Amino acid sequence: MRANADKDFTKYVLIVDDEEVNREMLGMILSSSYKVMYASDGDEALDMINSFSDFLSLVLLDILMPHKNGYEVLEEIAGDPSLQKIPVVVLTSEKEAEIKSLKLGAADFLTKPYDLPEVILARVAHAIDLYENANLIHATEKDNLTGLYNREFFFEYCDQYLKHHPDADVDAIVININRFHLINAMYGRAFGDQVLCAVSNRLRHSVMVLGGLASRYDADSFYLCVPHVESYEELYKSILSGVTEVLSDGESRLRIGINSNMPKDNSVEDNFSWALQACNSLRNQIGAPYAFFDENMHKKQIREAVLIDDFETALEEHQFKVFYQPKFNIEGDEPVLSSAEALVRWNHPKLGFISPGEFIPLFEENGLVRKLDRYVWSEAGRQIREWYDQIGVYMSVSVNVSRMDMYDDDITAFLSDIVINNDIPDGKYLLEVTESAYTDNAEQIIDVVKRLRAIGFKIEMDDFGTGYSSLNMLYALPIDILKIDKEFLRNILTDERAKKMVDLVIDIAGFMGIPTIAEGVELKEEYEVLKEMGCNVIQGYYFSKPLPVEDMTKMIMERKDDIK
């Protein structure tokens, strides 16, 4: 048990010397500025240092003492991490003792016979200030939970490491715990912290073996800067063993990206962004737990930078085109055109047609998708009005609303203005909200959806079957239409269990009075099975691919009697 001491701004100094006259002389000099304590030998000194380690600002330590000498005291202090924060100034008259003491961790020395009191006070104050500053930096450079470097200090120390090892081959490594937010959601934050600590302990051990530096970069990502090795299998196994100590399916949780032999002419941040790209390339993949950044990824990164730079110009020049994929109601004897989904396409003037599977995830990562969504919403609203003016029918159109859109304070007003400005009747402008949005922040999303429904919008839950909704949650959600994802339908012709699951979902939706839409239907056999199950609406290549405005207009003209 530690002795009690007043935790105020008084600084405590321990003088250790077997000569009473020396103790008293130093005590008289220091007592004007410090609270002075005394010890007459090494054993007594260590007892006091351990008892008052939380309060001691400095130890003045004589080297030549009976029983335990000053060297032995220094060795014990150096071996105890809790005591290393206390600076030790050695008292000696021998040059050899000064050198040995500094090697054992002494902060400074005072030569016997002693200098003027002003000099002693200045050197003591300097030693205390240096250690206090060092301890403050040490406290702020580490992540509180894991004890690894935080991102700012990590990059700074990486820079220093590379400057002092200009010829060394060094690897940048990014490690991510996939879907970590689900661990917190399912088991609680305390359990999630256990997983993070298990990973960090393994990384700390690996850095000790390999050399280098380790950081907790953000909530579920870790960065390593280590001398190059040919195989990272052992590193992966080490981290995995730490994760599986607390999480049984640890293997599926890890992604590791490596920028091997990072180029010296790039910044540290750039080199790690490449390792991050390699790590992200493993999302939703089964197989190898790690990937290396290569030339193809480099080209992809450059291409993505071009797409981001060209985004604003593309909006201004209307390079983004809204296509419409028809939806057909199949409840009657013959399918009838009932609505369409607005889908965006990009015809880049230099790069040509760019798949939405490429640019939409990119814009989701950097937030540009919100501006793109608003562009599509406005275009779709204008088009609904134009079809009415041209053909005389209001074609129902659904637009996609991402979960990021749901966090915009003005989303209700923006969408409402589109409907009002284009004089669109209630129920003709539908909003598709993905299932994952509801599970990400259910309370806030549900609140926004309720407000949108209250002013006349109909809500489709998109991609049902790909997220984590329970049937109980489905019952509680404010939705008007359930849209079954194509991945959920993939095996209904070959797998009886998959077929029964789709049938069950359609039955539950029917019981709740919610119509169902099956998307991604490509085969006649799929259409027939879904019709037999009682699915209400079908969307997919079996009826039509997404159409440009001209072709969609032609279809509406031909089938305008279908549209209610």
Q: What is the pLDDT of residues 317-376, one digit of tens each?
A: 999 999 999 999 999 999 999 999 999 999 999 999 999 988 998 898 888 999 999 999
Distance CA 106, CA 84 (A): 10
pLDDT the model gives residue 334: 92
* Average pLDDT of the residues of the chain: 85
- C-alpha neighbours within 13 Å on the C-beta side of residue 204: 14
Distance CA 346, CA 334 (A): 34
User: Is pLDDT at 400 greater than 80 in this prediction?
Assistant: yes
β-bridge partners, 517: 483, 537
User: Is pLDDT at 138 greater than 70 in this prediction?
Assistant: no
User: Is pLDDT at 300 greater than 60 in this prediction?
Assistant: yes
What is the three-class DSSP state of 261?
A: coil
Which residue, 330, 192, 331, is CA-closest to 253?
192
| Between 8 and 35, residue with greater pLDDT | 35
Q: What is the mean pLDDT of residues 454-481?
A: 72
Which residue, 493, 515, 406, 503, is CA-closest to 452?
406
Distance CA 322, CA 252 (A): 38
User: Across the beta sheet with 290-292, what order do the strands follow?
Assistant: 213-218, 221-227, 170-177, 254-259, 290-292
Q: Does domain 12-141 have CATH number 3.40.50.2300?
A: yes
Q: What is the mean pLDDT of residues 131-159?
A: 79
User: Running DSSP on this structure, what letter comes out for residue 142?
Assistant: B
Which residue, 505, 500, 507, is CA-closest to 485?
505
Which residue, 89, 6, 16, 84, is CA-closest to 48?
16
**pLDDT band for position 5 (cuts 50, 70, 90):** very low
Distance CA 241, CA 201 (A): 11
Which residue, 137, 63, 144, is CA-closest to 104?
63
Distance CA 223, CA 170 (A): 13
| Backbone angles phi and psi of 255, in degrees to 5 | -130, 135
**pLDDT band for position 394 (cuts 50, 70, 90):** very high
CB 297 within 8 A of CB 281: yes
Query: pLDDT tens digits for 181-222?
Result: 767 767 788 888 888 888 888 888 888 888 888 899 888 899
Q: Does domain 151-293 have CATH number 3.30.70.270?
A: yes
Query: Residue 341 is inside which H or E element, if any?
Result: strand 336-348
User: Is pLDDT at 533 greater than 50 in this prediction?
Assistant: yes
CATH number at 304-562: 3.20.20.450
Q: Where are the domains positioned within the chain?
A: 12-141, 151-293, 304-562
pLDDT the model gives residue 79: 81
Distance CA 555, CA 326 (A): 9
Which residue, 222, 321, 328, 335, is CA-closest to 279?
222
pTM of the model: 0.61
Q: What is the distance between the terminal CA atoms of the chain, rounded to a whole angstrom? A: 82
Distance CA 461, CA 427 (A): 15
User: Is pLDDT at 468 greater than 60 in this prediction?
Assistant: no
User: Is pLDDT at 38 greater than 90 in this prediction?
Assistant: yes
pLDDT the model gives residue 343: 96
User: Is pLDDT at 472 greater than 80 in this prediction?
Assistant: no
User: Across the beta sheet with 12-16, what order do the strands follow?
Assistant: 35-39, 12-16, 56-62, 88-92, 108-111
